[in-house]
Homo-oligomer: A and B are copies of this chain.
Amino acid sequence: MSEAIEPWIEELLQAGLGRDKMTDKQRRIVESAIEVFAEKGYAASSTSEIAQRAGVAEGTIFRHFKTKKELLLSIVTPTMLKMIAPFLLREFRDVLTQDYDSYEQFLRAMIENRLLFLQKNKSLIKIVVQELPFHPELQEQFVQVVLVKVKERLEIVIGKFKAEGQLADLPVMTIIRLSASAIMGYVLTRTLYGTREGADWDDERELEATIGFIMKGLAP
């Protein structure tokens, strides 16, 4: 737990999360690109439309991003890092292992944190999820950056709860999978279905049901 974060991740986090160094136009280009990519998908998006929405000349895009693909990467790579930021930052990491007495507490914290993130980054997540299957480099990155890191951290936390006898005697990966499935099912349904007009979605109730389900399902 005490080993330092790899410097390149630290760096990317800085560079990616804050768009500080970007010029105004650059930021507008990226924002338009996020819009358009999320709406139509990368392949069906045209740089001319992105330029138009950003209010810049098409050539300007290519001054900042050598290719359309690079523009995509400039969006996806930081997003993948943001997705796992809580697992990487030192302060949070310590929190992970210490602050939660019960698995339930931990679950609630995770859901709240990531749900907030997801709500604020719907388009970004959509782009990542949509494009992942078609770009092997992204997949590589995803496995290396997201899966491995997250798994690493979660194994520690969940291992602890399991050792304390709070959880059933299942492989840690299985516990992660089952918990994650239920949470994602909740989040996805909520996102897709819960926002429809006239939908009878009682968020509080569903959240409780989901957590209850996980806790019962994983009880020793």
Contacts and interface: CB of A to CB of B under 8 A. Distances in A.
A209 interface: yes
A133 B219 CA distance: 37
Please tell me the size bucket of the interface on A. Answer: 20 to 34
Interface stretch (A11-19, A100-108, A156-164, A180-188): A180-188
Nearest to A184: B181
A189 B210 CA distance: 20
A130 interface: yes
Contacts of A214: 217
Nearest to A219: B216
Interface stretch (A1-9, A21-29, A39-47, A87-95): A39-47
A184 B214 CA distance: 15
Nearest to A188: B181
Given A130-B133, A213-B218, A217-B216, A177 B186 contact: yes
